[in-house]
């Protein structure tokens, strides 16, 4: 493939090319360059590319191009295109990325997912939309209630198909796709292609053009991998030192309990951190991700629920505080950094009893990390996370009275922030700009939910995004989704010396 390939040369209309250029996106990524000619021509496409490879624009550009040229008009309750996504956060992120491209073409969209009231979604469908971006559970609910029909769908897109399979959504996906016209165009994108995905391919795609832009296990060339071999008593002090450096960091744990505890320990030592896991209410997830996006919290401590779909600019460091059980989880977790051509560093914390497991994990993931035995003060720590360490103040959780819940359904919080915001400059290791990577146009806050959706008992996967920052200051914040947690900013936190070993990183529990 020529290095001077452009979106125009691939067949993307000038109007869309101009919008991409205004966002600094001028060069297609490999998955975009490989799939666009076929998808723009109306062929069914099966595309495989690792996380952060630019799959979102690979399907949004042909989708919008073909809809704008088809001559059909949107109808009440009958969308012209369907994008299925496994999580609420990813659905919102896709819709946010699509908005600036769709508006000049006169195309409209509507997100459909659980965890929020269905009435706004029903009203949007009733008004008529061109594209719906949906999670399977809520979409099936609305179909059964007669609020949406898929017989006018011209293009169906299935994003993160392998994650759909992991979450057990494939039966619902099959039922939904059975309702779309058999002669419509279908695009399926996935990070891996396995048996579960092949079932969908054989059933719904017609003579698909298959494009694999990279190996399923190929590490990103701009991502460096390190394993830090630590003793039990050095695990948390080393972790604190890394997260106290300037810039955004995502820390992954195996269990919800551990994520909650670790975020609390970081905050107690003066490093602003928020948690993301299935035990949080929808409102708490939204607030926490807003804090991470805005820089009020520089560290996100999350379970594997955040390993997919979360896109935050300038995450230069990912830390596996607990090594994941399988290599796919390692690759997806690590994909939160080094996105769209930026640099990134991935650190795996390894205890003595985890040596064999981590060796097997990295081998299966196809990477060769640099392994170093470290303790607090080792010079490698400042190389991995450069900059002056700051313990100026963490976010302190204050439990509101049990009855202090506001109505609503997982919406944005209405109150202001309390305390002074604590933010850090971005690490110098990451490059700004990009080449059209996933969600490059998405500046919205994101959050992940593991709780049940409103409506029927069938749940969409964890996630929801708030695209606005909350204004105001000094007032306690209330959850729109029933959370009783309020954050304020503390100052003068502890230091690395205040850390104890805490819970062991090698916990084998697998709750999310």
The pLDDT value recorded for residue 309 is: 54
Q: Is residue 275 part of a domain?
A: yes
Q: Are residues 171 and 136 in the same domain?
A: yes
Say which CATH number the domain at 306 has: 3.40.50.300
Q: Are residues 106 and 48 in the same domain?
A: yes
- Quick one: three-class SS letters along 156-210? EEECCHHHHHHCCCHHHHHHHHHCCCCCCEEEEEECCCCHHHHHHHHHHCCCCEE
Out of 187, 212, 237, a domain closes at 212
The pLDDT value recorded for residue 412 is: 35
Q: Are residues 265 and 304 in the same domain?
A: yes
Residue 325 has pLDDT above 50, yes or no: yes
97-104 average pLDDT score: 95
The pLDDT value recorded for residue 376 is: 94
Q: Is residue 512 part of a domain?
A: no
- DSSP assignment of 94-154, as one string? HHHHHHHHHGGGT--EEEE-SSS-SHHHHHHHHH--SEEEE-HHHHHHHHHTTS---TT-S
Torsion of CA 243, 315, 361, 448, to 10 degrees: 100
Q: Is residue 485 part of a domain?
A: yes
Q: What sign does the dihedral 249-253-259-265 (CA atoms) show?
A: negative
The pLDDT value recorded for residue 286 is: 79
Find the angle CA(335)-CA(167)-CA(332) to the nearest 5 degrees. Answer: 10
Q: Is residue 71 part of a domain?
A: yes
The rounded percent of the chain whose pLDDT value lies above 70 is 70
Out of 177, 212, 247, a domain closes at 212
The pLDDT value recorded for residue 423 is: 38
Greater confidence, 401 or 265?
A: 265
Q: 191 and 166 in contact (C-beta within 8 Å)?
A: no
Q: Are residues 357 and 447 in the same domain?
A: yes
Q: Are residues 302 and 373 in the same domain?
A: yes
Residue 220 has pLDDT above 60, yes or no: no
Q: Which of 310-319, 345-354, 503-512 has the highest mean pLDDT?
A: 345-354
Q: 349 and 505 in contact (C-beta within 8 Å)?
A: yes
Among the residue ranges 15-29, 175-189, 319-333, 395-409, the one predicted with the least confidence is 395-409
Q: What pTM, to 2 d.p., does this model score?
A: 0.61
Domain count, the chain: 2
Task: Give the integer Cα–Cα distance in Å for 285 and 276.
Answer: 6
Q: Is residue 222 very low, low, confident or very high in pLDDT (cuts 50, 70, 90)?
A: low
Coil vs helix vs strand at 342: coil
Q: Are residues 208 and 235 in the same domain?
A: no
Greater confidence, 404 or 315?
A: 315
Q: Is residue 444 part of a domain?
A: yes
113-121 average pLDDT score: 90
The pLDDT value recorded for residue 52 is: 64
Cβ-proximal residues to 489 (8 Å cutoff; 6+ apart), any chain: 272, 296, 393, 394, 395, 396, 418, 419, 420, 421, 422
243-268 average pLDDT score: 93
Q: Give, to the nearest 10 degrees, the angle between helix 14-22 and helix 88-102.
A: 110
Torsion of CA 338, 242, 247, 341, to 10 degrees: -10
Q: Are residues 292 and 441 in the same domain?
A: yes
78-107 average pLDDT score: 93
Task: Give the integer Cα–Cα distance in Å for 304 and 175.
Answer: 27
State residue 96 phi and psi, 5-degree precision. Answer: -65, -40
Q: Is residue 262 part of a domain?
A: yes
Token pair of 172 as six digits: 């619902």
The pLDDT value recorded for residue 150 is: 98
Q: Is residue 471 very low, low, confident or very high in pLDDT (cuts 50, 70, 90)?
A: very low
Q: Are residues 234 and 108 in the same domain?
A: no
268-294 average pLDDT score: 86
Task: For residue 424, give its domain range.
Answer: 223-498
Q: Is residue 373 very low, low, confident or very high in pLDDT (cuts 50, 70, 90)?
A: very high
Task: Give the integer Cα–Cα distance in Å for 364 and 330.
Answer: 10
The pLDDT value recorded for residue 277 is: 84
Token pair of 451 as six digits: 């709780």
Q: Are residues 180 and 326 in the same domain?
A: no
Q: Are residues 430 and 302 in the same domain?
A: yes
- Per-residue exposure over 377-413, b if at least 16 CB sit within 10 Å of its own CB, e if not: ebeebeebbeeebbbbbbbbbeeeeeeebbebbbbbb
Out of 186, 212, 238, a domain closes at 212
The pLDDT value recorded for residue 36 is: 96
Q: Among residues 247, 276, 261, which one has the least CA distance to residue 449?
A: 276
Residue 379 has pLDDT above 80, yes or no: yes
Among the residue ranges 203-207, 326-330, 370-374, 438-442, the one predicted with the least confidence is 438-442
301-316 average pLDDT score: 70
Q: Is residue 337 very low, low, confident or very high in pLDDT (cuts 50, 70, 90)?
A: low
- DSSP assignment of 381-410, as one string? HHHHS-S----S-PEEEEEPPTT----SSS
Q: Is residue 442 very low, low, confident or very high in pLDDT (cuts 50, 70, 90)?
A: very low
The pLDDT value recorded for residue 501 is: 35
Q: Are residues 205 and 333 in the same domain?
A: no
Mean pLDDT of the chain: 77
Residue 427 has pLDDT above 80, yes or no: no
Q: Is residue 336 very low, low, confident or very high in pLDDT (cuts 50, 70, 90)?
A: low
Q: Is residue 511 part of a domain?
A: no
The pLDDT value recorded for residue 54 is: 83
Among the residue ranges 34-48, 263-277, 388-402, 414-428, the one predicted with the least confidence is 414-428
CA atoms within 13 A on the CB side of 129: 26
Q: Is residue 507 part of a domain?
A: no
Q: Are residues 232 and 167 in the same domain?
A: no
């Amino acid at each position: 493939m020529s290095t001077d390939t452009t979106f125009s040369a691939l067949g993307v209309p000038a109007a869309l090319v101009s919008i991409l250029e205004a966002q600094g996106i001028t060069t297609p990524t490999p998955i975009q360059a490989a799939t666009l000619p076929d998808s723009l021509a109306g062929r069914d496409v099966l595309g495989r590319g690792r996380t952060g490879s630019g799959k979102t624009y690979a399907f949004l550009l042909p989708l919008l191009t073909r809809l704008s040229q088809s001559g059909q008009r949107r109808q009440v309750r009958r969308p012209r295109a369907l994008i299925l996504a496994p999580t609420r956060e990813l659905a919102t992120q896709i819709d946010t990325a699509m908005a600036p491209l769709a508006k000049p073409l006169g195309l409209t969209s509507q997100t459909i997912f659980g965890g929020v009231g269905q009435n706004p979604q029903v009203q949007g469908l009733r008004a008529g939309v061109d594209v719906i971006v949906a999670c399977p559970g809520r979409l099936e609910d609305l179909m059964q209630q007669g609020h949406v029909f898929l017989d006018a769908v011209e293009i169906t897109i299935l994003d993160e198909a392998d994650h759909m399979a992991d979450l057990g959504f494939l039966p619902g996906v099959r039922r939904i796709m059975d309702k779309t016209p058999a002669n419509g165009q279908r695009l399926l994108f996935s990070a891996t292609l396995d048996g579960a995905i092949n079932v969908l391919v054989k059933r719904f795609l017609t003579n698909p053009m298959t494009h694999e832009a990279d190996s399923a296990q190929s590490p990103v060339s701009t991502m460096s991998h390190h394993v830090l071999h630590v003793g039990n008593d050095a695990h948390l002090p080393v972790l604190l030192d890394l997260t106290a450096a300037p810039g955004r960091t995502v820390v992954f744990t195996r269990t919800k309990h551990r994520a909650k505890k670790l975020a609390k320990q970081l905050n107690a030592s003066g490093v602003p951190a928020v948690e993301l896991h299935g035990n949080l209410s929808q409102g708490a997830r939204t607030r926490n991700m807003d804090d991470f996006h805005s820089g009020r919290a520089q560290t996100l401590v999350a379970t594997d629920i955040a390993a997919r779909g979360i896109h935050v600019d300038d995450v230069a460091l990912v830390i596996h505080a607990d090594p994941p059980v399988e290599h796919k989880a390692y690759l997806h977790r690590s994909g939160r950094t080094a996105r769209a051509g930026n640099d990134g560093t991935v650190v795996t914390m390894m205890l003595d009893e985890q040596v064999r497991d981590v060796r097997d994990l990295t081998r299966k993931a196809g990477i060769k990390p640099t392994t170093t035995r470290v303790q607090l003060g080792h010079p490698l720590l400042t190389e991995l996370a450069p900059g002056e360490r700051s313990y100026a103040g963490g976010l302190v959780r204050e439990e509101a009275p049990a009855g202090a819940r506001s109505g609503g359904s997982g919406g944005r919080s209405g109150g202001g922030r309390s305390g002074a915001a604590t933010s850090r400059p971005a690490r110098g290791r990451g490059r700004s700009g990009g080449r059209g990577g996933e969600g490059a146009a998405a500046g919205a806050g994101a959050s992940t939910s593991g709780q049940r959706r409103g409506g029927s008992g069938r749940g969409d996967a964890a996630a929801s995004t708030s695209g606005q920052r909350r204004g105001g200051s000094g007032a306690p914040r209330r959850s729109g989704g029933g959370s009783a947690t309020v954050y304020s900013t503390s100052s003068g936190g502890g230091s690395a010396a205040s850390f104890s070993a805490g819970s062991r990183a090698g916990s084998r529990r697998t709750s999310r």
